[in-house]
Amino acid sequence: MRWWRRASREAGPEKRRGLNSLIILTAWHLWKHRNQVVFDGDAPRVSLLKQQIKEEAHRWAMVGARHLRQLIP
């Protein structure tokens, strides 16, 4: 939690909400991927995980997560 608070403070008020959204989105995908590896026997694939996070972030931005849109290209 400390690193999250510090990163949020350093991002400044204009990027804080986008950063928080990105952190939550990443944590959610990490959790889902971990469950697939542990419970379903899937192989860990970081490149797939990164791609899924990017795609989801773009979808969030397209449907109105304007603060997140500021952080992704």
Q: What percent of the chain has pLDDT over 70?
A: 100
Average pLDDT over every residue of 18-28: 92
Q: Which residue has the higher pLDDT, 7 or 26?
A: 26
Domain count, the chain: 1
DSSP letter string, 6-70:
HHHHHH-HHHHHHHHHHHHHHHHHHHHHHHHHHHH-PPP-HHHHHHHHHHHHHHHHHTT-HHHHT
Range of the domain at 53: 2-69
pTM of the model: 0.83
More confident residue, 73 or 4: 4
pLDDT digits (tens, 9 = 90+) for 24-58: 999 999 999 999 999 999 999 999 999 999 999 99
| pLDDT, average across residues 56-65 | 90
